[in-house]
Structure formats: structure tokens, C-alpha cells
Structure 1
């Protein structure tokens, strides 16, 4: 007998690890997974922000914990995986969201800044996915990995944004998603990517001021920026059995920006 739509989206009994989960898009995704019934482990670099986020989620009846870790460091990643498995058991859902950006003209972009962005945004995603895959997803032949990319990975930006390292890293995340999905499908592991557009919560205050919210919103056919609800639906779709036949895909959540030629 086929399941109801409510049953397909239900995440009760599953555990999710969300990187960069203390604020912004990571916290929005974590909240969605928790509301659908998943137990949560949030990680980020700053303990005070993690504690505040977890307290907010727990006040809503969501089972959430935290571990402070830097996902640009391999030793921190290994510790994060080990402690999560000890405290919550096997990980069913991994959300790779921790990331960095750097604004500079390409001709003057510092190499150390390039390496910082690529190390966290690409290498960190791979190292954590590999560790969790080997520890529990491959042996159990199940799991969902959700990579947070960006519409910046689909092409260039307006010239005044000058984020070549970030764009390059997010383009790499999209193809990493496809490649890993193709390789790990045999293990029942699904790998998909979310490509957010302009969300105030993921942009620096300086970028918002420089670009202007109204100007950014005008790029989108829906004439608005993303809000605190707009990633919740796709996150639960990719994490749950409602998306059990979806893998290797990316979905732009951008108000239609990527649908506009030259947008």
C-alpha cells in the first residue's frame, strides 16, 4: 500500500548533521528537518551561536544538540563524526552548508583567500561526506546528502560583486554533487544540491548595503529576496522518502533569477 504524502515527508527516527547550522540558511534547513521529526546535530565554529540556536530549536520541541568544529580542518571533521555517532547513533542525513566567501578583483585576489574558500567550500564537503559515508551510510546502504551550493555556481556575477573564488567553489559543489550521486547510488545514498539565490541571511551587511535590497530583488521575476521559509520545503524533500528517486540534481531557490537570460 502506498504511503500518504504526510508519511513520505516524515523524518521521525532519523538523525541529521547540519554544518554551518547555527544561523542563516543552515539554521533554516535544520529547523525544517527538526519540524519534520529528525534529531539534529548542529555544528559551526562558534559555541555561543550554536548554544543559542539549539536553545531556540529545543524551545520548539525539536531534539537538537551541538558540537563546535571547523569544517576546514580534517581533524575537527573526524572528531565531529566520531562524537556525533557516539551521541546520536548513525547519521541518516548530512547537510553540507558551512562555507566562506571573499570579495576581491580576480587580478588582485589573495591566494591565501582563494585557498581558504576552496578548502572549506569544496574540500570540507568532500572530507565530511567521505567520513560519514564510510562510517555509516555505505555500511547501511542508505542516506541522503544535501550540499548547499548557490546560483553563483551556475555562472558569473555582476562585475561589482567580484567573488570569483566563491563562484568557482559553488560550481565545483554542483559537479561534486553529480559525481558523488553517480558513484554512491549503488549504496542507496542520494546526493542533491540546493542553489539559493539572494537571501539576506547569507549575505554580509556590507554586500546588502552596496547592492541594495531593492536592486537585488529587482533581478528576480518574483521581485523579492529569499526569506526564512524558502529553503524548508526543498530540504525536507531531499532528506525524506518523498525524494527517494531524486539524486544527482540541483535546484535553484532564487525567485527565478537563474531563469532569466543574463540574470
Structure 2
């Protein structure tokens, strides 16, 4: 198994891509620490992982609260001894036209989507990875970390920040054998995207038409990429920004897709 007996912390792991990653890590022998905001959701995710035969424990904490993050990391290290892999997956979508975006929504988006990535990474690195001279960090950004989306100024800015932070940490921490990479998911069928589709099905039909592969990704497909970046198979992969988007970024010219013959 690729992660036998490794301690893996996944933030935002109660659902969606984070939960899919937690499932795969558990199947690969890891001891998975599930972090999310709400204790009940964390408990349900942990129970599901354990029922499937995995080893998991819960860690409810607000990823956007620096004090809570540092306390959570200290707790994991005290209980487990070390942390081998950190997946910074927690994030929120803030939707508003830029001219209508209030400062509170802007700050919350930055706190959860960008600040949390730094605080988790710094806390895990200093408490475990730097002293042990090894570790892997995978930051989940977004295709919106590479291109813009409408009415998403806070989200786009924060996810671009994650991409830049990933490169900076890769440069700073390579000397400690800590690999830092980022995943930029394109359109993915999580519970949140399905709810959005119910509100505006036409928009999602049009979005899928613009994907060269012709369909959105499933959470497990994004999770597989996360596990690759965290695994020994990617031992020389460092500072990579990987988009998993069905070719969406390659089609960012605005042209129409060619028709099948």
C-alpha cells in the first residue's frame, strides 16, 4: 500500500474532493485525520471511513482560524507522533459582482481559501516535517487559480494566491525534503456543484459543453491526482501546479470546440 502507516491530514474532508481523498488514503493504509468545520459532519465522515475498514480520527476546527489550526496540529502530533502528508483542501466559494463584494465576505474568502493554507502548512512543517526532514503537502487550488471566473473576485484572488504560495513554499522547503505541489480542479461533480446545477441547470450544461473531454470530473478523479502528488511515485515532483480539468484550460481561447465527424 502506498501510504501504509502514514499519518495524513486532510482539511475540508467531510465531503466532496476532501472526503474522496480521505477514502483513498485510508484504502492505501494511511491513518487519516479528517478536518472540517462542523463536528457532526466530521463524525459522520470518520464513521464512514472506519466502517469501510480504514483508520481515521476526527479533528473539527475552523481552517480560517489560525489559533484553532495551530492547536489542531499540536494535538495530532501529540497523538500520532508526526504528520507525513498534509492536504489543504478546505475552501469556500464567495459569489458576488466585484462592485458589490463587501469587505467581510472578501476577508472570509481569503481567510479560508488562502490564509488557512499558509497556517496549516507552516504549523505542520515546523511541528513535524522540518524536524523529520520529510513530508508532502498538496494544496487544492482551483482552475480559478489560473484563470478568472465571473462574479468571483475573492475566490479567484485567493486561489491565485494558493498557486503562488505553493511555488514559494516549494522554493523555501525543498531543502528540508518537503515536497509542495498544487492541484487545480476544473468543474467537478461535488454536492455543492450539484446544488448549484439545480439552481441554474443551463449554466452547467453550457460549462460541460466547453470541456474538451465532454464532461465534468468526479471527486475521486481529483482525489487520485492528490494521492499521486503525495506519493513516492512523485518523489521528484515539486512546485507543480497540476490542472485536472478535462482540457478546460487548454480551451481558454474562447473558441468553439470542433465537432465530431
TM-score (structure 1 length as normaliser): 0.92
Pair 1:20-2:12 in alignment: yes
1:79 is matched with which residue: 66, 71, 76? 71
Please give the residue correspondences for 1:1-263 in structure 2 after superposition, counting only pairs within 5 Å. Answer: 10-157=2-149, 161-201=150-190, 202-203=192-193, 205-206=195-196, 209-210=199-200, 211-262=202-253
Does the CA contact (< 8 Å) of 1:181 and 1:247 recur in 2? yes
Give RMSD over aligned pairs.
1.4
Unpaired runs of at least 5, structure 1: 1-6
Task: Report the Cα distance in structure 2 between the residues aligned to 1:203 and 1:262, rounded to whole angstroms.
Answer: 24
Task: Report the Cα distance in structure 1 between the residues aligned to 2:132 and 2:62, rounded to whole angstroms.
Answer: 27
State the 4+ residue runs in structure 1 displaced beyond 4 angstroms.
none
Aligned residues: 252
Write the deviation string for residues 70-122 of structure 1: whole angstroms up to 9, x where unpaired. Answer: 01111111111111112222000000011112111111111110111011111
Cα distance change of structure 1 residues 16 and 234 upon mapping to structure 2, 3 Å threshold: same
User: Which residue of structure 2 aligns with residue 3 of structure 1?
Assistant: none
Unpaired runs of at least 5, structure 2: 255-261
Task: Report the Cα distance in structure 2 between the residues aligned to 1:39 and 1:175, rounded to whole angstroms.
Answer: 29
* Bigger Cα displacement from structure 2, 176-185 vs 233-242: 233-242
Does the CA contact (< 8 Å) of 2:189 and 2:219 recur in 1? no
TM-score (structure 2 length as normaliser): 0.92
SS of 1:101 mapped into structure 2: coil
